[in-house]
């Protein structure tokens, strides 16, 4: 069973936190699928990763650019894994029944959105019942992450 990490956003917007998390995924030599809720969110995250840090570049793509097998980061709202990713990143309430097919699953949720918090709690309970290892990370004041006890 993969490790499932819940990342509780409270200080920065999703796109900035996602950029930091994906940077760490790539630094670890892993590939990622970022699953979001709609094609509009795919477009937003894709554009954001191109512009969020002009001094850096995170290689990524979407269905519009194609060449999934060549992309270390693939952004989608579908349930496929066309780049053979090790890490699944869930955003915007996207859910996945195939998280068990990955080495690691990261769920990022907005702690300022009560609906998102309730949905994350529900998924936490569901995943906990599978026997998977769960971790909970809360954003610190300066945007970094602190692992909390469950």
Q: What is the pLDDT of residues 21-69, one digit of tens each?
A: 999 999 999 999 999 999 999 999 999 999 998 888 899 999 999 999 9
Residue 13's CB is within 10 A of a number of other CB atoms, namely: 11
29 contact partners, CB below 8 Å, separation of at least 6: none
Q: Name the band, by pLDDT with cuts 50, 70 and 90, for residue 150.
A: low
Report the candidate in 42, 87, 36, 78 with the shortest Cα–Cα distance to residue 61.
42
Torsion of CA 117, 123, 52, 66, to 10 degrees: -150
Would you state the pLDDT for residue 57?
Answer: 84
Rounded CA separation 38/44 (Å): 10
Are 66 and 49 in contact by the 8 Å Cβ rule? The answer is no
Distances (CA, A) of 100 to 76, 97, 130, 147: 18, 8, 10, 22
The residues facing 134 across adjacent strands are 4
pLDDT for 87-138, tens place per residue?
999 999 998 788 889 999 999 999 999 999 999 999 999 999 988 899 999 9
Half-sphere exposure at residue 77, Cβ-oriented, CA atoms within 13 angstroms:
14
Burial of 96: CB neighbours in 10 Å, binned 0-12, 13-18, 19+: middle
């Amino acid at each position: 069973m993969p490790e499932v990490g819940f990342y509780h956003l409270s200080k920065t917007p999703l796109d900035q936190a996602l950029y930091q998390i994906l940077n760490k995924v790539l630094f670890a030599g892993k590939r990622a699928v970022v699953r979001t809720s709609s094609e509009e969110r795919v477009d937003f995250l894709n554009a954001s990763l191109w512009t969020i840090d002009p001094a850096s570049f995170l290689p990524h793509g979407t269905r519009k650019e194609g060449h999934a097998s060549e992309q270390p980061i693939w952004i989608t709202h579908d349930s496929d894994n066309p780049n053979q990713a090790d890490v699944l990143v869930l955003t915007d309430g996207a859910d996945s029944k195939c998280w068990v097919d990955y080495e690691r699953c990261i769920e990022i949720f907005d702690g300022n959105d009560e609906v998102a918090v309730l949905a994350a709690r529900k998924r936490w309970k569901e995943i906990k019942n599978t026997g998977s290892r769960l971790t909970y990370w809360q954003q610190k004041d300066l945007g970094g992450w602190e692992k909390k006890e469950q």
